[in-house]
Amino acid sequence: MEPVTSGAPPAKPAAPTRRAFLRWLGGLTVVSTAAMILTPIVGFLVPSSSGRAAGGGKTLVGTTADIAPGAGKVVAVGSKPAIVINTDQGVKAYSAICTHLGCVVAWNDMIGLIQCPCHDGRFNPTTGAVVSGPPPAPLPAVTVSVEGDQIFVTET
């Protein structure tokens, strides 16, 4: 048996109106704006997986050939800079963040000291103590070890 149909053509779905499209576009704008505002806030409040990594891992920062006696080098240890100096008393490492205003210090070959480029703060390469300038405290020491000719710094 054939189905009985009325003589009317099948109903077409209604075409979206301009008003419906603009309502959809407005909703999309609100959602995307909220996402742009909330994403950095959530990123700040929820630590990243690299931030949750346990400290204490050793990082290879160079060899004794890279840092000759009486020389120094700023290296990245995780997400923080450190300065490694090959002194007469052995290899020393300190945080490379100046204790005055947080600038990154550098090794100055001419004077044989760690120097902050911002306000000319100078630090002793053997102890990290302030030699001159405005820094209020010495550079914090970082654990360093030499294995063979490789220099490792331990993250804190």
DSSP 75: E
Residue type, 9: P
Extract the tokens encoding 116: 């902050």
Residues 63-80 pLDDT 10s:
888 888 888 989 888 888
Extract the tokens encoding 33: 């704006």
Residues 87-139 pLDDT 10s:
888 899 999 999 988 889 999 989 989 999 988 899 999 998 999 989 899 99
Identify the burial level of 49 via C-beta atoms within 10 angstroms of its C-beta, where 0-12 means exposed, 13-18 middle and 19 or more buried.
Answer: exposed
Residue by residue, DSSP assigns 82-108 as EEEEEETTEEEEEESB-TTT-PBPEEE
What is the pTM assigned to this prediction?
Answer: 0.63
Q: What is the pLDDT, as a whole number, of residue 29?
A: 95
- CA 59, CA 77: separation in Å to the nearest integer? 6
Contact 70, 104 (CB under 8 A): no
